[in-house]
């Protein structure tokens, strides 16, 4: 009797596949796929360890030679650097030293800039003292010199005992000592000084004048109002179209923090009864004309023009109240200056 042939063992029934089929419930095809995937993963992990690419060879000599060549080119093309002398030497060369003089009594109103330098005052401070003295019409007290910008306190304390001036300015309404006693004094009255003031005195008794008809010359007659503030008053009046109330002066930029000057303007000016200001036509005025008015400005001017284009011309000035951003207080100020014919 022939022995029965031994069954052929397939690789699909090998250990891993048998285990996967028995314990994982995979079919034969799924088991083969899993084994193939594991083989690919193992090859991917082992391939970097078995294959080492050739590393590039670094030649430092070539790089060093290139760096040396660049350094030589920079050294050859570099322009000779300019040497700067210290500022103290430049200042000394620009302003030669002035010979110092022994301290003694002197009149600050008769001293030149070189005279101040000869008494230890720096050059730029000496020029500033002389310029201020000429502009102010002369010094009347030592306190004016003490406040000079750049003058060190130690220098002032050294020169103050020799200045032929009173310590401080006389108070408002007070008379200087030489005028009160009648005795001769070494300090001449300010009006008789060799440095008379170049600014004309303002009248003490000024008659009120029309605020809407005044020019800068009339406004400058009021104490505290110079050329700059007078120009702003006239410019703001032209932008408004005329003042309706004297309290509108407080809206001017340069007078917002000066209530005393506003009170002086209100004291010496008036608004003529029945004055009619120049009106702005909101139906024909362009954006460039509207925003120049102090009560309109750019944001409101854009809305006025946009509302006019969307809803047509305004029928009456009160139609401007339909603009949401126009507040009641702003409308009350703007109403006397607009028309819509």
Query: Could you say which of 270, 295, 317 is where a domain stops?
Result: 270
* Residue 255 maps to a domain: yes
What span, in angstroms and rounded, lies between the C-alpha atoms of 49 and 47? 5
What span, in angstroms and rounded, lies between the C-alpha atoms of 198 and 135? 8
| Successive 10-residue mean pLDDT values, the chain, 341 residues | 55 61 74 83 82 68 84 78 53 68 88 89 89 86 87 89 85 51 48 51 82 92 90 93 92 88 90 93 92 92 92 92 91 93 82
* Residue 305 maps to a domain: yes
Q: How far is CA 140 from CA 125, 198, 249, 341, in A?
A: 19, 16, 35, 62
Buried b / exposed e over 145-177, threshold 16 CB at 10 Å, is: bbebeebeeebbeebeeebebbeeeeeeeeebe
pTM of the model: 0.44
* Residue 242 maps to a domain: yes
Query: Could you say which of 270, 292, 312 is where a domain stops?
Result: 270
* Residue 165 maps to a domain: yes
- CA atoms lying within 13 Å on the CB side of residue 240: 23
Are 117 and 186 contained in the same domain? Answer: yes
Sign of CA dihedral 30, 36, 38, 40: negative
CATH code for the domain in which residue 236 is found: 1.10.150
> How many structural domains is the chain composed of?
3
Domain that holds residue 226: 209-270
CATH code for the domain in which residue 109 is found: 1.10.150.320
* Residue 10 maps to a domain: no
Are 266 and 296 contained in the same domain? Answer: no
What backbone torsions phi and psi does residue 237 show, to the nearest 5 degrees?
-65, -40
* Residue 158 maps to a domain: yes
Are 297 and 253 contained in the same domain? Answer: no
Are 100 and 188 contained in the same domain? Answer: yes
Are 102 and 184 contained in the same domain? Answer: yes
What span, in angstroms and rounded, lies between the C-alpha atoms of 260 and 263? 5
pLDDT of residue 231: 93
Rg (CA), the chain: 47
* Residue 216 maps to a domain: yes
Are 290 and 266 contained in the same domain? Answer: no
β-bridge partners, 106: 163
What backbone torsions phi and psi does residue 338 show, to the nearest 5 degrees?
-125, 150
* Residue 86 maps to a domain: no
What span, in angstroms and rounded, lies between the C-alpha atoms of 338 and 32? 95
Locus of tokens 């010199």: 145
Encoded tokens for 26: 């995979």
pLDDT of residue 329: 92
pLDDT of residue 298: 92
Are 109 and 157 contained in the same domain? Answer: yes
Are 148 and 228 contained in the same domain? Answer: no
Query: Could you say which of 243, 270, 297 is where a domain stops?
Result: 270
Are 110 and 157 contained in the same domain? Answer: yes
Q: How far is CA 37 from CA 16, 30, 163, 329, in A?
A: 13, 11, 107, 84
DSSP string, 81-128: PPPPPPHHHHHHHHSPPPPP-----B-GGG--HHHHHHTT--HHHHHH
What span, in angstroms and rounded, lies between the C-alpha atoms of 173 and 336? 45
Are 254 and 176 contained in the same domain? Answer: no
Are 252 and 224 contained in the same domain? Answer: yes
pLDDT of residue 86: 54
Are 332 and 265 contained in the same domain? Answer: no
């Amino acid at each position: 009797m022939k022995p029965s042939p031994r069954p052929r063992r397939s690789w699909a029934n090998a250990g891993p596949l048998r285990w996967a089929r028995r314990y994982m419930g995979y079919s034969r095809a799924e088991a083969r796929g899993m084994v193939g995937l594991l083989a690919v993963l193992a090859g991917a992990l082992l391939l970097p360890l078995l294959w080492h690419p050739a590393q590039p060879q670094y030649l430092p000599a070539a790089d060093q030679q290139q760096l040396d060549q660049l350094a030589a080119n920079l050294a050859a093309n570099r322009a000779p650097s300019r040497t700067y002398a210290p500022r103290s030497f430049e200042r000394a060369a620009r302003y030669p030293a002035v010979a110092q003089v022994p301290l003694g009594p002197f009149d600050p109103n008769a001293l030149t800039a070189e005279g101040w330098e000869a008494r230890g005052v720096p050059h730029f401070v000496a020029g500033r003292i002389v310029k201020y003295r000429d502009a102010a019409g002369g010094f009347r007290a030592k306190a004016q010199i003490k406040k000079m910008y750049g003058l060190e306190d130690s220098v002032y304390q050294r020169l103050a005992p020799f200045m032929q001036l009173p310590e401080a300015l006389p108070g408002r309404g007070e008379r200087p000592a030489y005028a009160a006693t009648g005795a001769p004094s070494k300090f001449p009255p300010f009006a008789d000084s060799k440095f008379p003031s170049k600014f004309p005195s303002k009248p003490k008794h000024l008659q009120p004048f029309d605020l809407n008809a005044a020019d800068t010359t009339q406004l400058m007659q009021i104490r505290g109002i110079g050329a700059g503030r007078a120009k702003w008053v006239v410019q703001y009046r032209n932008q408004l179209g005329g003042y309706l109330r004297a309290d509108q002066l407080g809206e001017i930029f340069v007078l917002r923090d000066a209530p005393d000057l506003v009170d002086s303007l209100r004291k010496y000016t008036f608004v003529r009864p029945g004055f009619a200001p120049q009106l702005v036509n909101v139906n024909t005025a362009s954006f460039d004309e509207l925003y120049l008015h102090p009560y309109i400005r750019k944001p409101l001017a854009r809305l006025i023009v946009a509302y006019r284009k969307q809803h047509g011309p305004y029928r009456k000035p009160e139609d401007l109240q339909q603009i949401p951003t126009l507040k009641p207080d702003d409308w009350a100020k703007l109403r006397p200056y607009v028309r819509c014919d």
